[in-house]
Amino acid sequence: MKLIYSEYIKRRIALRSIEYELPKKIFKESKDKYIDIETGHFIAVSNAELYKRNRDVMVAYDIEKDCNILLTIHPLKKSQKENRTKNGRWRKI
């Protein structure tokens, strides 16, 4: 399946000084994948080095026909993943 970066994620990568390949790496290597009930987007979470620290980083994406479109990327706060799964916003897939 083809992998496409949205214009928005390209801007976020530049704005946040994130390595260009990091979203693709998180998407491909993530063992934690969810659906966000609020937005309808899929979420991939993986631990990655970002800003000289290891932290959980999420990539939101959509699946359309024969491609995955990466929408945005951002680091998660310490309990953010746990809170979103506990309150049901993120459901494991």
Backbone angles phi, psi at 28, to 5 degrees: -75, -35
- Least Cα distance to 23 among 63, 74, 67, 66 occurs for 74
pLDDT digits (tens, 9 = 90+) for 18-73: 999 999 999 999 999 999 999 999 999 999 988 888 999 999 999 999 999 999 99
Domain assignments of the chain as residue spans, ordered by start:
2-92
2-92 has CATH 1.10.3470 classification: no
Per-residue confidence band for 78, with pLDDT thresholds at 50, 70 and 90 = confident
Q: What is the mean pLDDT of residues 80-85?
A: 93
Q: Which residues pair with 73 in a beta bridge?
A: 59
